[in-house]
Amino acid sequence: MPGLHAMKTEGRKIVMLTAYDASFAAQVEQAGVDIALVGDSLGMVVQGQRSTLPVTLDHMVYHTSLVARGLSATLLAADMPFMADRNVSYALEAGARLVGEAGAAMVKLEGAAPHVLEAIHALTERVIPVCAHLGLTPQSVHKFGGYKVQGRAQDAAERVVNEALAVQQAGASILVLEGVPTPLGERVTKALDIPVIGIGAGPHCDGQVLVVYDMLGITPGKRPKFSKDFLAGRGSVSEAIAAYVSDVRSGAFPAAEHSYN
């Protein structure tokens, strides 16, 4: 993704935002978002599930195809659902469906276990760009014992840095870094040649991503610390998304209250 790499080099912030249907996709593109992400977060914010784990490949293909119809130029990324990386053969099949059938330009994989690195390498070798995802990886919620900030202890921080270098070496084009302390987010961003998109990883990342329902303040329950209600005080969804884009580009978002120290 040469354009995204150029933005990192030039210090221009990258804006990513989720979308799950054609109407939201059109709003995202109109606001100037760089990357529309069809996240498996749809399991929670659209389907009402308690985690992302029940989301299937068919679900992801369906929602990605909807978003693709609402875009004309915005880069489209799609999550690989839970266990899509069970083996290289299935990962390639899933990647082929999301790109060839649904219209994604990039797929996202969580973690940096050996089988994940193998899948990243296999996908990129077959010209399917990969976005890696480290830190708080929602598909590992049971392993983590909940949605907890990662990388607070020194050994845990070192592990995140090493994993980031590993996914880059495996061929990932960009990295989403979620739920880590601000100093670690800055350290990973500086250590990598590829762009790092933060979500609860502090202001020093190369860009930011949020769940669109969170940044509109319509997700039921408590809003994540790293999010902000951009619809509050504004008259429309389009104004809220435009404000999010503007604040990410200027560096106004995330502020200290949206970060972990």
Coil vs helix vs strand at 237: helix
163 is catalytic: no
The closest alpha carbon to 68, from 79, 57, 59, 76, belongs to 76
Phi and psi, residue 19, nearest 5°: -150, 150
Please name the residue that has the structure tokens 């070496």: 169
Residue 172's alpha-carbon distances to 127, 203, 214, 228, 250, in angstroms, are: 11, 22, 27, 29, 26
- Which position among 178, 186, 239, 257 bears the catalytic label? 178
The closest alpha carbon to 28, from 248, 254, 257, belongs to 248
Structure tokens given for 40: 């498996």
Residue 254's alpha-carbon distances to 24, 129, 225, in angstroms, are: 22, 27, 10
Contact 82, 57 (CB under 8 A): no
The residues annotated with a catalytic role in the active site are 178
